[in-house]
Amino acid sequence: MIRVAPDPQRVIVGAFLVLAAVVCAVAPMPVVFRSVGVVLFSYLAFGMAGMPFAYLAALLAPPLGLLSGSVDWLVMLPIVMSGNLLAMLGLEYAWRYPALVLSPLLLVTPALFVQVTTRRELFAVELPWDDTRGAWITLHLLVALLGILTAFVLDRRRSQEAVRPGAPPSPRAPNRSGAPTEAPRGRRA
pLDDT in tens, 153-182: 888 888 887 776 655 544 444 444 555 555
Q: Looking at the predicted structure, is the pLDDT value of residue 8 above 90?
A: no
**7-162 has which fold?**
Arp2/3 complex 21 kDa subunit ARPC3 (1.10.1760)
- HSE (side-chain half, CA atoms, 13 Å) at 32: 18
pTM for the full predicted model: 0.80
Helix (H, G, I), strand (E, B) or coil at 94: coil
pLDDT tens per residue across span 117-143? 887 777 777 777 767 778 889 999 999
> Contact 137/144 with Cβ under 8 angstroms?
no
Would you say 129 and 31 are in contact if contact means Cβ atoms under 8 Å apart? yes
> Which of 41-50, 87-96, 160-169 is predicted least confidently?
160-169
